[in-house]
Structure 1
Amino acid sequence: MPAVLQAEGLELRFDGEPQPLLAALRFSLSAGTHGLDGESGSGKTSLLRGLAGAQPLAGRLWLNGQPMPAGLAARQPLVWWADAQAPGFDALTPDGLRLVLQQRHGPIDAAAWQRHVDGFGLAPHAFKTLHMLSTGMRRKAVLAAGLASACPLLLLDEPCGGLDASAIAWLVQALNDRAAQPGCAALVVSGRWPAGLAQAGQVLLPGG
């Protein structure tokens, strides 16, 4: 299958550190959901941030055969990466969050958004701002927006954290449904891979 994301020679280095955290890393992601694994401290979250353009990451990246643009703003219409706990979201309702994220990441399908809101059990909390919601409820709102977005690459860091069993089941089904779409991939960090979630491949980081 053609690669959705192709990565060559990736290097991630923090200022002041003599050795890079990641060096000469290469991998490819076909359509579907892929696991990102490695020991604690191996750089999983840092790699996701680097792929999103939120922190420096040297190397070459292609998305669906096209070179990936550099920088966070240029990648946001292509790559979904959002921190549900970001303080800047506190004053937003779930639908307000959708509108803000749509400005960053491009179109979010309204019908798909509502379907995920209902599936995650968010509808009764629609009038609340995010600072009133639990960690799990905040995560559901961000996941609903990401799953309804047109971004071909989703980057998800422990997406099941704080979710109840029914919400995890909905997420698994949504990711499995999305895996059938050509040109779409998800890279997921999960300490425990959700039951029933089809795994198209795995990226394993060295070190830690």
Structure 2
Amino acid sequence: MPVLTVSDLCFGWPQAPLFDHLSLQLPPGVSAVHGDESCGKTTLLRLLAGELPVERGSLVLRGTHLATHPDAYRALVFRTEPRSDALDAISARTWFSTLAARRPNFDTIAAQRLSSGFALDPHIDKPMHMLSAGSRRKVWLSAAFAAGAALTLIDEPFAALDMNSIRFLRTLLAEASQHTDRAWLLADHTLPDGMVLQTRLQLGAGD
């Protein structure tokens, strides 16, 4: 059974239609959406997360309909947003504690272990604005893999990462590809060879 079912999704920005009756199913494991710049990858993740209102269509996540139970739907989703400045004033450790208080499935111990795997120990108590782009992305990735969400949406997962972190992330994604009740969707221009993907969606200009 799919974790997420999207039916007849329509959405566009003024003067820029993006999705016209898009339907897809995300099975458990790791899937990917890829395409050129400005083709709608990030917008699609925001729609699937319930952050943008759809013009038409339905989204059902583990039997929960976004249209009728939006809060319950969004509680099942975790989306990475490493470019955001909303967390600039707090540390990764503080953010992990905040997430644990808001999300019953969030595993703080796992988050700390993951951040160590990404070599973040020297930076775990620094305000996020002091971290490099790569380190901020590692914080978001650590939270994503500790969140226990039914649907995890990761934008540009490998951007700004050093080689050791890329190898560690690929190990985590290989484990995620074996999940039987959780779906992961990666969005990027291209993805490294050798990844096990359940579904691959190619977006073109104007999609």
Instruction: Tell me the amino acid that sits aligned with residue 3 of structure 2.
Output: V
Decide whether the 8 Å contact of 1:77 with 1:106 is kept in 2: no
Give the structure 2 partner of residue 55 of structure 1.
52
Give the structure 1 partner of residue 167 of structure 2.
169
Cα deviation for residue 69 of structure 1 reads: 5.2
Give the alignment partner of residue 144 of structure 1, picking from 142, 145, 150: 142
Cα deviation for residue 86 of structure 1 reads: 1.6
Decide whether the 8 Å contact of 1:52 with 1:72 is kept in 2: no
Q: Does 1:111 align with 2:109?
A: yes
Decide whether the 8 Å contact of 1:93 with 1:130 is kept in 2: yes
Q: Normalization by structure 2: what TM-score?
A: 0.89
Q: Normalization by structure 1: what TM-score?
A: 0.89
What SS class does the counterpart of residue 171 from structure 1 fall into?
Answer: helix
Aligned partners of 2:80 and 2:188: how far apart in 1?
Answer: 16
Give the structure 2 partner of residue 40 of structure 1.
37
What SS class does the counterpart of residue 191 from structure 2 fall into?
Answer: coil
Aligned partners of 1:204 and 1:70: how far apart in 2?
Answer: 29
Q: Does 1:67 align with 2:60?
A: no
Give the structure 2 partner of residue 5 of structure 1.
4
Aligned partners of 1:136 and 1:71: how far apart in 2?
Answer: 35
Sequence identity of aligned pairs in percent?
A: 33
What SS class does the counterpart of residue 88 from structure 1 fall into?
Answer: coil
Aligned partners of 1:188 and 1:127: how far apart in 2?
Answer: 28
Cα deviation for residue 183 of structure 1 reads: 1.3
Cα deviation for residue 72 of structure 1 reads: 6.9
* Alpha-carbon displacement from aligned partner over 1:81-117 (angstroms, at most 9, x marks no partner): 1312221201111111212334554431122112211
Instruction: Tell me the amino acid that sits aligned with residue 30 of structure 1.
Output: P
Give the structure 2 partner of residue 182 of structure 1.
180
Q: Which runs of 5+ in 2 are unaligned?
A: none
Cα deviation for residue 205 of structure 1 reads: 2.5
Aligned partners of 2:88 and 2:71: how far apart in 1?
Answer: 22
